[in-house]
Amino acid sequence: MKSDQSKAQQPSRRSFIRTGGVASAAVAAAMSTKGVVRGDEPASESKSDVINIGIVGAGGRGGGALNDSLSINENIKLIAVADLHRESGERVRKIMTDRHGESKVAIDDSKIYEGLDAYQKVLNDPAVDVVLLTTSPGFRPYHIAEAVKAGKHVFAEKPTCVDPAGYRVCLAAHEEAEKNGTAIVTGTQYRRQTNYMGVVQQIRDGAIGDIVSATTRYCSSGIWYKNRKEGVSDAEYQLNNWMHFIWLSGDQITEQAVHNIDTLNWVMDSAPESAYGSGGRFTRPDDSQMWDSMSIDYVYPGNRVLSFMCRQIPGAKGDNGSVIYGTKGTAYIGAMSSGSRIVDRSGNEVWSMKGSIADAYKQEHKDLIDSIRAGKPIVELKQTADSSLTAVMGRMAAYTGQEVTWDFVTKESTLDLFPKGLTWESSLPASPFAVPGSTKLV
Ligand SMILES: NC(=O)c1ccc[n+]([C@@H]2O[C@H](COP(=O)([O-])OP(=O)(O)OC[C@H]3O[C@@H](n4cnc5c(N)ncnc54)[C@H](O)[C@@H]3O)[C@@H](O)[C@H]2O)c1
């Protein structure tokens, strides 16, 4: 049994959940060194305490992530929301209250924040323990870094960066989170989907022999586009039509197909060494910077070429999944909930597994909250930042028409797309879409 003296030295339950957010950096560091933050606290004590959630980015996925977290976890409460637009915050509050009731959703009017600095108000709120970061991707590295500094545990949607500058911010935030005991779980849900975990284990166990090559595709129909309203600034237009501006979305390869690229990096247990590729645009609106098709050859260690393709052209055939070729067989990994299977060299199925993406979306939020309660916060940002940068590397190769190496993007590239001094009134003349041979590799 512990003495009163040793009890007095224990951090309070709230400081345990919040780590550095309430405790000073020094206290957090001391807690961390003693192993209190990182794992020696009995999980049973913590189960009874409510964990308070705030969200930054109350759009489609933000609502989905909130619903997943509130559905799968007990003793959690949504207490604050930040978005560029107050209506989005109010909408999410209503939907979540209707679905989950006031025991899980208690957002005072004063805790619905709007604007570009709204995220800071959620991060400065000492009652918030966990923050869900679900804005357009361009903001992600900077929001993650500030959340970790504020001592908040983080759920960060993918992609976590859209350029090498953002990647470096992610690496620093990962390191800081490991030091101060804040969790960072990312929205690469396939890493928690049974058929994906199953097939990767099969591959690791030798079911297809040595991996020779692979191909992955994210080909779908078009994507939404918002017409510019009269009188709005460049910044307002781009923020609301974010998919079409590379500083905000990273283009399709980063914004959506990062899932497929993450699968390749996971299977290969490595980022690629280089990328070479091509692509173009046939159907995008005139002022969109996005391409609508891209094919990249990634060279992984062992001189193995894994090919990637993405396309968003209405009417063209869709395909979303990965095929991994080995010396003994082939693994097919279907996206969404379409399952995985392995065939031998004669085409006979030797293994298969189903999986539910809906379950995987929930599992990431269960893992996050469980890890906080257990005092063993998961920090998985680097893995997802690596995959996001792999996508960026492919985009840079296609846009410039050059071969781009992992060494270059991690160590030398100065590409930093985020506008300096961004305000609602910023003039941001959009640069034209990339043209290989003219667009410079920086
Ligand atoms: N894991 C998945 O399968 C999956 C699925 C869909 C979307 N996503 C990711 O989720 C993110 C959001 O996508 P979405 O479809 O929800 O977009 P969305 O446009 O529906 O929502 C984004 C919201 O963020 C708000 N926002 C933008 N910048 C902000 C800022 N600086 N501060 C506060 N709020 C801000 C917008 O006003 C909007 O309400 C993207 O990164 C996307 O790739 C992941």
Statement: residue 279 has pLDDT above 70: yes
Same domain assignment for residues 43 and 119: yes
Q: pLDDT tens digit string along 359-369?
A: 999 999 999 99
Statement: residue 162 has pLDDT above 60: yes
- Please indicate, yes or no, if residue 106 is contained in any of the structural domains: yes
Statement: residue 420 has pLDDT above 60: yes
Same domain assignment for residues 246 and 394: yes
352: alpha, beta or left? (left if phi > 0; alpha if psi -120 to 50): beta
User: If pLDDT is split at 50, 70 and 90, which confidence band does 27 have?
Assistant: very low
Q: How far is the CA of 136 from the centre of ligand 1 (A)?
A: 4
Q: How far is the CA of 193 from the centre of ligand 1 (A)?
A: 22
Same domain assignment for residues 298 and 323: yes
User: If pLDDT is split at 50, 70 and 90, which confidence band does 41 have?
Assistant: very low
Same domain assignment for residues 209 and 120: no
Same domain assignment for residues 218 and 121: no
Q: How far is the CA of 231 from the centre of ligand 1 (A)?
A: 24
Same domain assignment for residues 36 and 136: yes
Q: How far is the CA of 317 from the centre of ligand 1 (A)?
A: 27
Mean pLDDT throughout 252-279? 98
Q: How far is the CA of 58 from the centre of ligand 1 (A)?
A: 7
Atom 43 of ligand 1, nearest CA residue: 255
State pTM to two decimals. 0.92
User: If pLDDT is split at 50, 70 and 90, which confidence band does 10 have?
Assistant: very low
- Please indicate, yes or no, if residue 396 is contained in any of the structural domains: yes
- Please indicate, yes or no, if residue 418 is contained in any of the structural domains: no
Same domain assignment for residues 286 and 230: yes
Statement: residue 350 has pLDDT above 80: yes
> For the chain, percent helix, then strand, then coil, each to nearest 5?
45, 20, 35
User: Mutation test of ligand 1: which of 81, 83, 155 has the most ligand atoms closer than 8 Å to its C-beta?
Assistant: 83
- Please indicate, yes or no, if residue 119 is contained in any of the structural domains: yes
Report how many domains make up the chain: 2
Same domain assignment for residues 227 and 80: no
Q: pLDDT tens digit string along 88-138?
A: 999 999 999 999 999 999 999 999 999 999 999 999 999 999 999 999 999
Statement: residue 312 has pLDDT above 60: yes
User: What CATH code is carried by the domain that includes residue 346?
Assistant: 3.30.360.10
Same domain assignment for residues 19 and 142: yes
Statement: residue 4 has pLDDT above 50: no
User: Mutation test of ligand 1: which of 135, 143, 388 has the most ligand atoms closer than 8 Å to its C-beta?
Assistant: 135
DSSP 225: -
- Please indicate, yes or no, if residue 401 is contained in any of the structural domains: yes
* CA 312 and chain centroid, separation: 21
Same domain assignment for residues 181 and 230: no
- Please indicate, yes or no, if residue 287 is contained in any of the structural domains: yes
User: Mutation test of ligand 1: which of 84, 136, 144 has the most ligand atoms closer than 8 Å to its C-beta?
Assistant: 136
User: If pLDDT is split at 50, 70 and 90, which confidence band does 17 have?
Assistant: low
- Please indicate, yes or no, if residue 427 is contained in any of the structural domains: no
- Which residue range is the domain that position 210 belongs to? 191-355+387-412
Query: Which atom number of ligand 1 is nearest to the Cα of residue 143?
Result: 31
Mean pLDDT throughout 46-54? 80
Statement: residue 18 has pLDDT above 90: no
Same domain assignment for residues 247 and 123: no
In percent, the amount of the chain with pLDDT more than 90 equals 88
Q: How far is the CA of 62 from the centre of ligand 1 (A)?
A: 6
User: Mutation test of ligand 1: which of 154, 157, 190, 384 has the most ligand atoms closer than 8 Å to its C-beta?
Assistant: 157
Query: Which atom number of ligand 1 is nearest to the Cα of residue 58?
Result: 39
User: What CATH code is carried by the domain that includes residue 115?
Assistant: 3.40.50.720
Same domain assignment for residues 48 and 156: yes
Q: Which long-range contacts link 316-322 to residues 24+ away (Cβ below 8 Å)? A: 316/219, 316/221, 317/219, 318/219, 318/220, 318/221, 319/217, 319/219, 320/217, 320/218, 320/219, 320/220, 320/260, 321/216, 321/217, 321/260, 322/214, 322/215, 322/216, 322/217, 322/260, 322/263, 322/264, 322/267
Mean pLDDT throughout 191-215? 98
User: If pLDDT is split at 50, 70 and 90, which confidence band does 432 have?
Assistant: confident
